[in-house]
Amino acid sequence: MARTSRRSNLASLLVAGVAATVAVKAVLNSMRQEAFVSGLRGAPAQCRVQVVSLKAAEGDSLPSVDVDEGKPGQTVNIADLFKGKKGVLFAVPGAFTPTCSETHLPGYLQMSEELKAAGAEVVVCVSVNDPFVMAAWGKQKEAEGKVRMLADTKCQLTKALDMELDATEKLGSIRSKRYAMLIDDGKIIKLGMDDGAFAPAMLEALKR
């Protein structure tokens, strides 16, 4: 009797184990299929599908995102800033960093009159820094009246445009890629990345 009872208990445990294994596999398969269909960035690498890029593209409208100017809480809405206006928005990985401070921003400052003559009503520099840093950088470079220095303090604009740059190793955080946009009434007319983000490229696009 005792032996028969033990055999019965063992059989029950085996059945339960098999059922649990089948259930776990079913859940995992369901999760993989869902991730495969949706193509979400959080999906496992073997199931990830990138069908549509979220990165800003020519023809897109600017997102309605607030950034800081001068100090925290003193905000500017990017979509409103370019509403009914033509201008340039350029972004840099970091204020005071070598290429940004020696070439990128100075190029727009030096060509500010040419950009205005070509039709630019507003020129904006954006970086994932706090507004105090951006204000100090602008003051050092004498940007007032030429380039507006805007701080994407919470990285919200950069994320909305899918322009994040993982600069953790060098700068300690997520920053913005180097890019520039020619914008007309809130719509991106020309998008330049890296070398195409400097002032001469945007001036040429304005003149077309």
Give the Cα separation of 159 and 174 in Å (integer): 10
For the chain, give the number of residues.
208
Task: Tell me the C-alpha to C-alpha distance, in Å, between residue 143 and each of 40, 71, 86, 168, 191.
Answer: 41, 16, 19, 28, 23
Is the distance from CB of 144 to CB of 169 less than 8 angstroms?
Answer: no
For residue 199, the one-letter residue type is A
Give the Cα separation of 32 and 47 in Å (integer): 6
Is the distance from CB of 79 to CB of 64 less than 8 angstroms?
Answer: yes
User: Is 100 known to be catalytic?
Assistant: yes
Catalytic pick from 47, 100, 125, 155?
100
Catalytic residues: 100
